[in-house]
Amino acid sequence: MVEVKDLYKEYSIKKRGATHYFLKRSERTIIKAVDHVSFIVNQGEAVGYVGPNGSGKSTTIKMLTGVLQPTSGEIRVNGIDPSKNRIENNRNIGVVFGNRSQLWWDVPIIESFGFLQKLYQIPDSIYKNNLEYFVDKLELQNIINRPERQLSFGQRIRCNIVAAFLHNPAVVYLDEPTIGLDLESKERMRNIINKINKERETTIFITSHDLLDIELLCNRLLIIDNGKIITDTDFDNMLKIYNRKQIFKCRVIDKLIDIPMNLKKDIKVRRLEGNHLEVEFDNQKIDIKELLEELSRYVSFSDVSIESMSIEDIVKKILIRKEQ
């Protein structure tokens, strides 16, 4: 279980500018990276933690893993304070940062895994079973005897995923876990993470700009913006609310009159470029027949399709609504 209560992290930075230079003053500005955040993640949950760049995602994970000391607030990961008991905490967690490796640059991958076995004191039977499983599922047979410096970025990510799960951690933090992977490797990676989450009840905490990772792996979503959590909801509830909104797409054959951005109250033009038209509508207030009749007043069209809103669209809508 991950328990976070009133978590706060601030940075003090020097103000810069000609006035401060000539006056020899060193005034400082306080930046609130994480602003009194609270949440609980239960054992076996898979939680997506998303938000714009600079919203506080990575800072939160660094505090959860013990890399950063909070300015104030409390963190407990399976009862352990990460910043005060880093060694004990590290035995119970796995971490993947998309842009940082936990493997040795000039050492063959298999030897790095061997070092991790000794570091985490992994019993031989568990180490062997996990190594065989991940090498097979992530197709590492041809690269496991090469040093990390000879691997592509995507290959390094796959090896770091193994390193994160090798010791059967109770909690795994994944920061951009599929960055740099091709579509096939992404699907394989997601299947493995999902299987481990379900079968071993490993708690998964994910940040990713690829919101398909969040949609396919998580059952709960936390959205952070400007250091504050603005949404904490399970996916079923969120989709129940936002799947009322659907996207009508068509090819415009001919414009009869100019089409306004807002048609009826629950019909809104999202995009009109060339002969491509996208309209958002509330399917509980507007039926398809009514929608077609309304659009037919402005354009003639063909090649019709209707889609539900993507997770990316939903997150954007939540963030925009918060700003308003």
What is the CATH classification number for the domain harbouring 58?
A: 3.40.50.300
Tell me the backbone φ, ψ of residue 250, rounded to 5 degrees: -155, 165
Closest CA to 8 of 62, 70, 75, 84: 70
Number of separate helices (H) and strands (E) present in the chain: 11, 13
Domain annotation covers residue 88: yes
Domain annotation covers residue 315: no
Q: Which two tokens stand for residue 138?
A: 């992530």
Q: Are residues 103 and 154 in the same domain?
A: yes
Residue 14 identity: K
Collect the ranges in the chain with pLDDT lower than 50.
none
Q: Are residues 62 and 100 in the same domain?
A: yes
Residue 9 identity: K
Q: Are residues 10 and 153 in the same domain?
A: yes
Burial of 319 from C-beta contacts in 10 A (0-12 / 13-18 / 19+): middle
Domain annotation covers residue 318: no
Domain annotation covers residue 317: no
pLDDT at residue 170 in the model: 94
Start-to-end Cα distance in the chain: 34
* Residue 101: alpha-carbon gap to chain centroid: 18
pTM: 0.76
Domain annotation covers residue 227: yes
Q: Which two tokens stand for residue 322?
A: 């918060």
End residue of a domain, out of 214, 239, 264: 239
Structural domain for 222, as ranges? 2-239
Q: Are residues 52 and 108 in the same domain?
A: yes
pLDDT at residue 18 in the model: 52
**Residues paired with 2 in a beta bridge:** 41, 77
End residue of a domain, out of 239, 261, 288: 239
Got the DSSP string for 24-40?
T---EEEEEEEEEEEEE
Q: Which two tokens stand for residue 117?
A: 């076995």
Q: How far apart are CA 256 and CA 290, in angstroms?
A: 18
Q: Which two tokens stand for residue 199?
A: 């079968």
Q: How far apart are CA 63 and CA 73, in angstroms?
A: 11
pLDDT at residue 107 in the model: 93
pLDDT at residue 133 in the model: 92
Contact 145, 110 (CB under 8 A): yes
- CA-based R_g, the chain, Å: 24
pLDDT at residue 75 in the model: 95
